[in-house]
């Protein structure tokens, strides 16, 4: 008899399977890549995403960064939850970037042209940072709390950190830039307990801080957002492009970039 129960919370989340178009199939032409100095400078070079998140990989592909090395950080994520969410995500993302940069700077493949790291947290209106749910009961309780507290409003913070080597031997030998994005999200307070339980059983939110994915079925829980949508998904693209520009584009080229944006 088939087991209809969803997988346990201890299972590793499975990355979505990418399907290629069959030979001779026709579809809409994908957009041309962005023609910007920063992106042109790193195309064909070693670009590392210090994250195993398939959502961040997909978002970066939207701005043309498709040839990425995925090397998750091995540094412990042990920042104190007593920190304000802004500081918590920035400290965590910075540690991730520095860990992966240090591990790859002298590797046989050559030093990376760019290392990108990010960290996203969801917090209540009181500033409580929410982790990934550990079990079904906690998952249901978390979503009910987000629905019922502060008229359904809570906040999402993502820190993006970019690192690139400097051509000079100036200590510390790399450029590092960061950005922290804040988005407010409002759950629909008319969402029923039954709908929350049904959503939890899809397990879509089991591997996500706060317990939901706004880019998927979890959108049925959300009434509106104030801020950037991709920040809630896990990576604010405009800000990411800006921190990339800050570490890879020479000062004389920045005016051209600013004019484009």
- What's the rounded Cα separation, in Å, for the pair 238 and 131? 26
Residue tagged active-site, from 35, 78, 119, 226: 119
- What's the rounded Cα separation, in Å, for the pair 142 and 121? 14
Taking alpha carbons only, the member of 131, 141, 127 closest to residue 208 is 131
Q: Is 119 a catalytic residue?
A: yes
- What's the rounded Cα separation, in Å, for the pair 215 and 218? 7
- What's the rounded Cα separation, in Å, for the pair 49 and 111? 14
The CB density around residue 63, as the number of other CB atoms within 10 Å, is 17
State the burial class of residue 103 (Cβ atoms within 10 Å of its Cβ: 0-12, 13-18, 19+).
Answer: middle
The CB density around residue 248, as the number of other CB atoms within 10 Å, is 23
Active site residues: 119
């Amino acid at each position: 008899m088939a087991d209809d129960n969803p997988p346990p919370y201890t299972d590793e989340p499975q990355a979505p399977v990418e399907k290629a178009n069959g030979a001779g199939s026709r579809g809409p032409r994908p957009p041309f890549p962005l023609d910007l100095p920063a992106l042109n400078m790193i195309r064909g070079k070693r670009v590392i995403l210090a994250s195993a998140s398939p959502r961040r990989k997909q978002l970066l592909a939207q701005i043309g960064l498709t040839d990425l090395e995925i090397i998750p950080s091995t540094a412990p994520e042990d920042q104190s939850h007593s920190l304000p969410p802004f500081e918590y995500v920035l400290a965590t993302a910075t540690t991730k970037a520095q860990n992966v940069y240090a591990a790859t700077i002298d590797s046989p493949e050559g030093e990376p042209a760019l290392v990108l790291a990010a960290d996203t947290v969801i917090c209540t209106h009181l500033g409580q940072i929410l982790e990934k749910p550990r079990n079904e009961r906690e998952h249901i309780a978390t979503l009910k709390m987000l629905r019922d507290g502060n008229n359904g409003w809570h906040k999402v913070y993502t820190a993006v950190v970019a690192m690139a080597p400097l051509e000079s031997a100036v200590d510390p030998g790399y450029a590092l830039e960061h950005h922290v994005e804040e988005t407010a999200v409002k759950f629909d307070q008319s969402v029923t307990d039954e709908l929350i339980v049904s959503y939890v059983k899809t397990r879509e939110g089991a591997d996500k801080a706060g317990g939901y994915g706004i880019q998927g079925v979890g959108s049925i829980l959300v009434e509106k957002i104030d801020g950037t949508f991709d920040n809630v998904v896990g990576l604010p693209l405009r800000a990411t492009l800006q921190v990339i520009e800050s570490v890879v584009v020479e000062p004389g080229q920045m005016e051209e970039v600013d004019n484009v944006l």
